[in-house]
A and B are shown apart, each in its own frame.
Chain A
Amino acid sequence: MTAHQKILVRKVAAHGFVVCFLILVLVPFVMVISASFRQGDFAPSRLLPDKVSLDHWKFVLGIPYQEVVNPATGETRTIKAGTPPLLWFWNSIKISLISSAGIIFLSSTAAYAFARLRFKFRTSTLGALLILQMFPMVLSLVAYYVILDFTGQHLKWFGLNTQAGLIMVYLGGISNYIWMIKGYFETIPATMEESARIDGASQFQTFVRILLPMSLPIFAVVFILSFISYMSEYPVASVVLQSSDNWTLAVGANSFLYEQEKLWGRFAALAVLSGVPITVVFLLCQRFVIGGLTSGGVKE
């Protein structure tokens, strides 16, 4: 083989790998979109729908539509969702936005303490956080259930089957974000904050006026990550939220997958719908994920 041929083979192999990988990523995505536009609720067998129908989308968006009940007589009935799925959509967005904002607030302040203050048990607490984050939230489901049951007896709006309760549980998942933000803070030289301190800024003013503006990129990343994870979180939400008007999109979507009958079409439409806010949040936050925010402040 000449050198030229070798390069060619290598190119083909590399491109082949990339194409296979792309297919692996894209096919499920296309299948979900196509399932949402396919008539009927069969598990999708072909990539493109054979019969296009907007029924699933109408259902999800709360628009009544006619469904043929008896093909022999042509008898139809009007279908309209009991709880409008759009309500779940708003619930999800609301819960995810509030939780993510709370996450940013809690984890950035905690990360500031870990990165800049010196106190007893700092390293051991950090280590404990690292270990804690290795256990998935699901493992504590029972505990969350009991705790919320208890708080609900005293504060009605803050117990089981309340969104406030779910948000509270979600806010517990900050340990890995603390680590991420702390890592970022530590790349920022402390002299800028010391300058601010000499200039007369309090610790809080230093945090808000000096450190925060330089940390927008990491906050954007944390916001995106936590928003995505809460938009799609199912196990905890399904246990905490019981009545259907409180459900999030993930819980609602799963409710169409009955043991006997899996309504894939509606499920797929909801899945696609949940991608919309994620995309929007991503596009909004992306503008902040830019380098060079700290450049010029210190000589590296």
Chain B
Amino acid sequence: MSEGSVEIKDLVKTYTDDRGRPTFTAVKNISLHIEDGEFMVLVGPSGCGKSTTLRMVAGLEKITSGTISIGERVVNELEPKDRGIAMVFQNYALYPHMTIFNNMAFGLQLAKKKKDFISDTVGRTSKALGLDHMLERKPHALSGGQRQRVALGRAIVRSPKVFLFDEPLSNLDAKMRVQMRSEISKLHAQLGNTMIYVTHDQVEAMTMGDRICVMRDGLIMQVADPLNLYRQPDNLFVAGFIGSPPMNLLKGKVQRRDGSLFFTEATEKNPLNIPLKGKLEPLASKYIDKDIIFGIRPEHLSDEVKDPAHVPVTSTVEIAEPMGSESLVYLKAGTANLIARIHGEHLFHLGEQVTVQFNLDKVSLFDAATENVIR
């Protein structure tokens, strides 16, 4: 069964002015396959073309070139209503002059469904969403979370094959956002539909997505499941975008000394020297005397040695943020700034000298010229 799969091929979107002259290319040739029933998150900084992509899938925006297929049917020229999709907008986009019932029933009414069927469907959906006692209200009498739930309900009653979400939680307060996040995840588990979810929030992406598609400037940077995206970023952009606090990225060169390879930080005064042993050695050997970027996640700096893959680096504590079971420690090693996430109930003092251990097994090296990971 693949009726909910979405295939995006060589998709390009160039916005034009009234006369059809090109003004801006928001999506520059992307290809993406989304499995039936998959929860795919499109994530990236604001303006990278996520909404544009989603709106082309929805049929709200004309496609400049390329194809979009839903369930193996090319939908390029189909009206939104015929694509088997439903969309939830960031600003809810409810019909303010209609009751909640009519907001949810509007699509079914237009499709000339039977009255009984409509009230049955809307009733069941609103009950599941906890909206059944406010069906006669207008949207303005609802809270933000309730409104977004109505928008969700309106999407559900259409029983689409593919749900499209454009930053549906951005307008909610932090607490509501976390709650709705799990509700949408639960909904996905229940319905099993394909969902495409746009967000600029990498935490949302990591917690919700089966797979995540990271975009920048109208291009796809990497598509992977959350763990792989986190562990094996394809490029510097993904490495810096995913994870909070972000990955430590140090600029420098590979150097050979006494038969061993070292990463030497690119600064004048006492640069950091990190031996590139183990799995890093074959990678670095192609980059001797070339510029690379050394990336290590904060949790891979620790204050105790666990195995021989760790190398010690002496550093000074600049800021410490104790958070109970772990601390975020901002360190200065030579001229380099590092963030370490250190487990345990330590207290770190400003100016304190600590020796942190780099876990070389977890290090990613990037080609400074192409910004791609060295494999």
A81-120 residues at the B interface, CB under 8 angstroms: 118-120
**Contact between chains at B147 and A200 (CB < 8 Å):** no
Q: Does A213 contact B (CB under 8 A)?
A: yes
**Contact between chains at B142 and A296 (CB < 8 Å):** yes
Nearest to A213 among chain B residues (CB) is B97
In the assembly, what is the distance between CA of A293 and CA of B171, in Å? Answer: 21
| Inter-chain pairs besides A298-B89, A298-B94, 8 sampled, C-beta below 8 Å | A120-B20, A194-B87, A197-B81, A198-B85, A201-B110, A296-B138, A296-B141, A297-B92
In the assembly, what is the distance between CA of A298 and CA of B141, in Å? Answer: 12
**Contact between chains at A123 and B18 (CB < 8 Å):** yes
**Contact between chains at B93 and A293 (CB < 8 Å):** no
Q: Which residues of A contact B93 (CB under 8 A)?
A: 189, 191-192, 194-195, 297-298
A198-219 residues at the B interface, CB under 8 angstroms: 198-201, 205, 210, 213-214
Q: Does B287 contact A (CB under 8 A)?
A: no
Q: Which residues of B contact A187 (CB under 8 A)?
A: none
Selected contact of A196 from candidates B19, B58, B92, B106, CB within 8 Å: B106
Q: Does B45 contact A (CB under 8 A)?
A: no
Determine which residue in A122, A214, A296 has the highest number of CB atoms from chain B within 10 A of its CB, and name it. A296
Determine which residue in A198, A200, A201 has the highest number of CB atoms from chain B within 10 A of its CB, and name it. A198
Take A121-B18, A197-B81, A296-B138 as given contacts and tell me if A189 and B91 are in contact as well, using a CB distance cutoff of 8 Å: yes
Q: Which residues of B contact A71 (CB under 8 A)?
A: none
**Contact between chains at B107 and A199 (CB < 8 Å):** yes
Determine which residue in B79, B89, B92, B96 has the highest number of CB atoms from chain A within 10 A of its CB, and name it. B96
Q: Which residues of A contact B144 (CB under 8 A)?
A: 299
Could you give, for residues 172-199 of chain A, a 1 whenever the CB lies within 8 Å of some chain B CB and a 0 otherwise? 0000000000000000010110111111
In the assembly, what is the distance between CA of A292 and CA of B139, in Å? Answer: 12
Take A295-B140, A296-B140 as given contacts and tell me if A192 and B94 are in contact as well, using a CB distance cutoff of 8 Å: yes
A140-194 residues at the B interface, CB under 8 angstroms: 189, 191-192, 194
Q: Does A76 contact B (CB under 8 A)?
A: no
Take A189-B91, A191-B93, A192-B94 as given contacts and tell me if A297 and B110 are in contact as well, using a CB distance cutoff of 8 Å: no
Nearest to A195 among chain B residues (CB) is B93
Nearest to A123 among chain B residues (CB) is B18
Q: Min CB distance, B118 to chain A, in Å?
A: 13
Determine which residue in A118, A194, A200, A201 has the highest number of CB atoms from chain B within 10 A of its CB, and name it. A200
Q: Min CB distance, A228 to chain B, in Å?
A: 28
Q: Which residues of A contact B107 (CB under 8 A)?
A: 198-200
12 A-B pairs within 8 Å (CB atoms) are namely: A118-B18, A120-B20, A191-B93, A194-B87, A195-B95, A195-B154, A198-B59, A198-B80, A199-B110, A297-B96, A298-B94, A299-B171
Q: Does B111 contact A (CB under 8 A)?
A: yes
Q: Does B156 contact A (CB under 8 A)?
A: no
Q: Does B158 contact A (CB under 8 A)?
A: yes
User: Would you list the 7 A-B pairs with minimal beta carbon distance, nearest first?
Assistant: A296-B140, A297-B96, A199-B107, A296-B139, A200-B81, A191-B93, A298-B91
Q: Which residues of A contact B140 (CB under 8 A)?
A: 292, 295-296
**Contact between chains at A299 and B92 (CB < 8 Å):** yes
A positions within 8 Å CB-CB of B? 118-123, 189, 191-192, 194-201, 205, 210, 213-214, 292-300
Q: Which residues of A contact B32 (CB under 8 A)?
A: none
Q: Which residues of B contact A195 (CB under 8 A)?
A: 87, 89, 93-95, 154
Q: Min CB distance, A178 to chain B, in Å?
A: 17
**Contact between chains at B106 and A296 (CB < 8 Å):** no
Determine which residue in B59, B86, B92 has the highest number of CB atoms from chain A within 10 A of its CB, and name it. B92
In the assembly, what is the distance between CA of A87 and CA of B79, in Å? Answer: 53
Q: Which residues of B contact A120 (CB under 8 A)?
A: 18-20
Could you give, for residues 59-96 of chain B, a 1 whenever the CB lies within 8 Å of some chain A CB and a 0 otherwise? 11000000000000000000111000111011111111
Nearest to B60 among chain A residues (CB) is A194
Q: Which residues of A contact B110 (CB under 8 A)?
A: 199-201, 205
Nearest to B17 among chain A residues (CB) is A118
Q: Which residues of A contact B138 (CB under 8 A)?
A: 296
**Contact between chains at B60 and A296 (CB < 8 Å):** no
Q: Min CB distance, B199 to chain A, in Å?
A: 16
**Contact between chains at B86 and A198 (CB < 8 Å):** yes
Determine which residue in A118, A121, A210, A298 has the highest number of CB atoms from chain B within 10 A of its CB, and name it. A298
In the assembly, what is the distance between CA of A119 and CA of B16, in Å? Answer: 11
**Contact between chains at A198 and B18 (CB < 8 Å):** no
In the assembly, what is the distance between CA of A293 and CA of B86, in Å? Answer: 25
